[in-house]
């Protein structure tokens, strides 16, 4: 739901036609990662946090989920990043419990940046386990 990078660019070195759309040589093509991940045709009700959508036996296009980009220039740190994130989340969640408060925003407003980040800090209550 919250890919760190909104999208990636590619520069065409040859003219190519894909599904009837011609990309002339030398074009800049923007691949909108965030918007692909919020496309209701791929993820019904995309703004809802629903981890179960990943446990369903759903077959998706290989490019339907690309937080680390794709192809020859895919993020080289992808596996390390996922591993680090899992370890960090496990360590934090074993130590503390998060809950929402009256001050927790209903909807996250994003900062004006090429990285996806909230405009204001996300307010949560933190309690030791
Ligand atoms: C959650 C963490 C991370 C995310 C979401 C992320 C995402 C991305 C994305 C979207 C790209 C562009 C891929 C493309 O153009 O198709 C990229 C490239 C890259 N990432 Fe990451 N990245 C993460 C962590 C890391 C880490 C931990 C490292 C290094 C240890 C790393 C190193 C790189 C490098 C070197 C590239 C450029 C690859 C190239 O152009 O050939 N990234 N990353």
- CA-nearest of 64, 63, 38 to 50 is 38
Pairwise CA distance, residues 111 & 9, whole Å: 21
4 close to ligand 1 (CB < 6 Angstrom): yes
Q: Which two tokens stand for residue 112?
A: 């004006």
**What's residue 56's pLDDT?**
74
In 3D space, the residue among 91, 101, 76 whose CA is nearest the CA of residue 129 turns out to be: 91
pLDDT tens, position by position, 12-31: 999 999 999 999 999 999 99
Atom of ligand 1 nearest to the CA of 73: 41
Mutate to test the pocket of ligand 1, among 33, 73, 77 (most ligand atoms within 8 A of CB): 77
pTM over 0.85: yes
Tens of pLDDT, residues 51-73: 999 887 888 999 999 999 999 99
Q: Sign of the CA dihedral 86, 88, 77, 66?
A: positive
Residue 9 makes CB contacts below 8 A (sequence gap 6+) with: 28, 29, 30, 31
Domain ranges (residues) in the chain: 1-75, 77-129
Question: The tokens of 6 are what?
Answer: 């909104």
């Amino acid at each position: 739901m919250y890919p760190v990078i909104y999208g990636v660019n590619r520069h065409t070195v040859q003219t190519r036609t894909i599904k009837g759309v011609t990309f002339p040589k030398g074009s800049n093509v923007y691949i909108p990662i965030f918007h692909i991940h919020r496309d209701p045709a791929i993820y019904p009700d995309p703004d809802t946090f629903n981890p179960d959508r990943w446990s369903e036996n759903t077959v998706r296009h290989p490019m339907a989920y690309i937080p680390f980009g794709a192809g020859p220039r895919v993020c080289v740190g992808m596996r390390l990043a996922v591993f680090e994130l899992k370890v960090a989340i496990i360590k934090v969640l074993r130590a503390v419990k998060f809950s929402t408060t009256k001050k927790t925003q209903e909807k996250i407003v994003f900062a004006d940046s090429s990285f996806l980040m909230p405009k204001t800090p996300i307010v949560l209550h933190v309690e030791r386990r």
